[in-house]
């Protein structure tokens, strides 16, 4: 018996059902890498960021998330080069999908128990997502904006339902708008800390603070 089609598990029906000491023997998630590309690139290098936002309350299987990651990564590697972008998968599959395995061979009606003891066995995992939740974010240079949006558009085809691609007003993966970021970086209120930014506050010794 192969995997069931994802349409069987598209909607959120019951409570979240996660891996625990009571629910063991869960197959591993298909998606293992959540940050792809130049993930160590400095925060100043990639100011542009675009998000794929979910427009439905649904479940997205780990297989679909991995397929979307591969599709986006392939397009961006081909068009802008492997060191010119950073993809971050923002949805994590924790919800377990179950299936009541049925025999489908000849004479199965003699062997199978029908709906007796029908609580299913774990067959995979999915992410439970809501309306307006960010699924995938990509940061890159402003010059590569069109390629990033096209890559996200291709990734959309791997998911059921409707998604929207939004161009963010923020600088990279920070919480600051572009104007605010540039101003605060010049003032010394922010300092680069890898692919994110650190806020310099007024605590601590004055000689160690970059603000004085």
Q: For residue range 86-130, what is the model confidence (pLDDT) as tens digits? A: 999 999 999 999 999 887 776 666 667 788 889 999 999 999 999
Predicted pLDDT of residue 112: 74
Cα distance between the two ends of the chain: 68
Whether the pTM exceeds 0.85: the reply is yes
Residue 58 has pLDDT above 90, yes or no: yes
Instruction: Check: CB of residue 58 under 8 Å from CB of residue 10.
Output: yes
Q: For residue range 172-206, what is the model confidence (pLDDT) as tens digits? A: 999 999 999 999 999 888 988 889 898 888 787 87
Contact partners, residue 50, CB within 8 Å, separation at least 6: 137, 138, 145, 148, 149, 152, 165, 166, 167, 168
């Amino acid at each position: 018996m192969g995997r069931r089609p994802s349409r069987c598990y598209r909607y959120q029906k019951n409570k979240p059902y996660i891996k625990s000491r009571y629910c063991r023997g869960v197959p591993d998630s298909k998606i293992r890498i959540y940050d792809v590309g130049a993930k160590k690139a400095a925060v100043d290098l990639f100011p542009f960021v675009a998000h794929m936002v979910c427009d439905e309350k649904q479940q997205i299987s780990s297989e679909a998330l991995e397929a979307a990651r591969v599709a986006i990564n392939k397009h961006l590697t081909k068009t802008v080069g492997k060191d010119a972008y950073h993809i971050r998968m923002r949805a994590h599959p924790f919800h377990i999908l179950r299936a009541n395995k049925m025999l489908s061979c000849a004479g199965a009606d003699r062997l199978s128990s029908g709906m007796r003891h029908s609580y299913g066995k774990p067959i995979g995992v999915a992410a439970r997502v809501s309306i307006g939740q960010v699924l995938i974010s990509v940061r890159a240079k402003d010059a590569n904006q069109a390629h990033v949006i096209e890559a996200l558009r291709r990734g959309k085809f791997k998911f059921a339902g409707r998604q929207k691609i939004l161009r963010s007003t923020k600088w990279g993966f920070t919480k600051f708008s572009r104007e605010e970021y540039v101003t605060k970086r010049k003032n010394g209120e922010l300092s680069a800390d890898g692919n994110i930014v650190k806020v310099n506050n007024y605590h601590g010794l004055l000689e160690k603070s970059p603000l004085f």
